[in-house]
Amino acid sequence: MNCVFLSRILLTVLLLTTQTFAAAETTLVAVATNFTQPMVKIAELFHQATGYTAKLSFGSSGKIASQLQNGAPFEVFLSADEDKPLKLEQTGVAVAGSRFTYAFGTLVLWSAQPGFVDDQGQILGSGAFKHLAVADPKLAPYGSAALAVLEEKGLQEKLQPLLVLGENIAQTHQFVSTGNAELGFVSLSQVIDNGKISQGSGWIVPSNLHAPIRQDAVLLENGTDNPAAIELMAFLKSPQARSIIEQYGYGLPK
Amino acid sequence: MLDAADLTALWLTLRVASLATVLMLLLGTPLAWWLARTRSRYQGMANALVALPLVLPPTVLGFYLLVLMGPNGPVGRLTTALGLGTLPFTFTGLVVASVLYSLPFVVQPLQTAFAAIGEQPLEAAATLRANPLDTFFSVAVPLAWPGFLTATILGFAHTVGEFGVVLMIGGNIPGRTQVVSVQIYNRVEALEYAKAHWLAGCLLLFSFVVLLLMYTVLKTRPSIPSR
């Protein structure tokens, strides 16, 4: 009886200590969905380099921001835009001054059909399609960048009736990849494989046609005392992380 | 307050839900009648198929519909051959998806109501030389009337509340596929919480009034299909 009691106490103590031990080694990270693949690789390298573990949760930037405003336990946030980290800083959820751009999004006009999109994007003017998918410009920076391109080319009014809006860039890609929209503006990271557009056809939009798509990371107040969180913020700027980011079709900050 | 886009979304939602409800009653009534009375060995299979949208995540249904109704899918090829074009991103597509998604909410109350009639009234009608169609409209429908009311209300309300499916196949086009639930989601995603609250409040009030109506005025017992 006594022995069982004692072993239970020992077990509890053991569990408690391992838990605090694990918490110190681990950081909870919220990541915008479009950065899923590179971030999984970066987290692996981060673990190898530092021994710390980054636990990744993926979601849309807007949803993550809402969750953070309402007490979500994340310590680092990699957003798909610059507005949401800024807002979080202003409301005191994120650490002021910790914000930086970890990647620039590259916009590509893409179709699942080979040979459909030419390498100058002339197809836009031809109007030889029924649906043009873009991410909702109110929700996703890739969407507002796409509309800026149409405006720059003087096609916004003509193409407005053909637009179908994806709730985020992943859904926009889904509309195009299933063929429901003949073409659409997606993120290069979604269609790149080994540095090339792997399927269908695409036009990599020159970055001077739209405002830069800045993807900002920010340290959250929850993470200020966690060395793993602080280390991860630094690691995102390391040459190792930068090479992964570039490999997936993102532009690198200077 | 509600702005023009919100009102457009509300009006669209009401149109989709009304049309879908009418179609579901037309489709669901013979289906429920058959399910309630058949001794076919396919009955279990049919019941399972009808109930499937209750347990499937709406995003799964939406994704399958997007693929099936797309230009490379079998349904998409058929509709294109018929000159209808493809259905995603259209009002018609939204109605078709809503019918599939909410059908169990119409079929199950009807099936229960038809089964509750039992054989006797129908046999009595037959001995009085009523043909099967006459029996159905003169005996079965009046007796199953509460079932029809429940089916209509649930089918309509559930269509108003649907989200995952329309998000997947809608394309979020104002006045065409941007329904209230999607509009609320967009407001939240854009961090426009005040506007989201107004619309969400409307939907909450609507749903509560509908259910209240059902449980008080119609005195329906809670027989909502379990989700």
What is the per-residue pLDDT across A19-67, written as a single tens digit (0 to 9) for each? 444 445 899 999 998 898 899 999 999 999 999 999 999 888 888 888 8
Chain B residues with beta carbon closer than 8 angstroms to that of A138? 186, 190
Chain B residues with beta carbon closer than 8 angstroms to that of A59? none
What is the per-residue pLDDT across B152-164, written as a single tens digit (0 to 9) for each? 999 999 999 998 8
Nearest-CB residue to A138 (from B66, B88, B186): B186
For domain A107-204, say whether CATH 3.40.720.10 is its number: no
Domains of chain B, each with CATH number or no CATH: 4-216 (1.10.3720.10)
CB contact under 8 A, A178 and B89: no
pLDDT at A230 over 50: yes
Sorting pLDDT into bands at 50, 70 and 90, what band is A226?
A: very high
CB contact under 8 A, A180 and B70: yes
How near does any CA of chain A get to the CA of B65, in Å?
A: 11
How near does any CA of chain B get to the CA of A25, in Å?
A: 32
Nearest-CB residue to A62 (from B69, B85, B189): B189
Domain A2-104+213-247, what fold?
A: D-Maltodextrin-Binding Protein; domain 2 (3.40.190)
CB contact under 8 A, B186 and A84: no
**Boundaries of CATH 3.40.190.10 in chain A?**
2-104+213-247, 107-204
Q: How is chain B classified by DSSP, letter by letter?
A: ---HHHHHHHHHHHHHHHHHHHHHHHHHHHHHHHHHH---TTHHHHHHHHHHHHHS-HHHHHHHHHHHHSTTSHHHHHHHHTT----TTSHHHHHHHHHHHHHHHHHHHHHHHHHHH-SHHHHHHHHTT--HHHHIIIIIHHHTHHHHHHHHHHHHHHHHT--HHHHHHH---TTTT--HHHHHHHHHHTT-HHHHHHHHHHHHHHHHHHHHHHHHTS---S-PPP-
Nearest-CB residue to B172 (from A60, A66, A167): A167
Please name the residues between 120 and 139 in chain A that touch chain B, using a CB distance below 8 Å. Answer: 130-131, 133, 136, 138-139
CB contact under 8 A, A180 and B189: no
pLDDT at A18 over 60: no
What is the per-residue pLDDT across A129-185, written as a single tens digit (0 to 9) for each? 999 999 999 888 899 999 999 999 999 999 999 999 998 888 899 999 999 999 999
Distance CA B225, CA B227 (A): 6
Say yes or no: B174 contacts chain A, CB-CB below 8 A.
no
pLDDT of residue B167: 85
